[in-house]
Amino acid sequence: MSYSIKKLFARIARFSHFLQGRKKINIYKLKTILYGIFSTREDEILYEECFNELDKLVGLELKRKNPAKALPLVQDHPNRHRDCREEYKTLLEVLKNLKV
């Protein structure tokens, strides 16, 4: 996270009590939205692209290969997006249990 984003979050935290007193604001949601905006990659893939490649990502992990090297954008996407992370974790857990 860049210095300017950290600075922005610090300011939000300092003034959150003031903001919450004036308006109903969920500071956590605001921080999440701002983080999403400022941390978006120029080459980021779309949800559909990630979803279509999740099986390959999980397969690499099960084979103990480095998914960050083979599929860097797909590997990065679940780290940034909760829905894709849940899909990834669920698929990984199901396939791990099938291999046992």
Return all residues near 51 (Cβ < 8 A) that are at least 6 apart. Answer: 84, 87
* CA pair distance 19, 5, nearest whole angstrom: 19
pTM of the model: 0.59
pLDDT in tens, 10-48: 766 666 655 555 556 677 777 777 777 777 777 888 888
Residue 69 has pLDDT above 70, yes or no: yes
* CA pair distance 89, 2, nearest whole angstrom: 28
Q: pLDDT confidence of 94, banded at 50, 70, 90?
A: very high
Q: pLDDT confidence of 86, banded at 50, 70, 90?
A: very high
How far from 22 is each of 8, 12, 17, 30, 62, CA to CA, in Å? 20, 14, 9, 15, 51
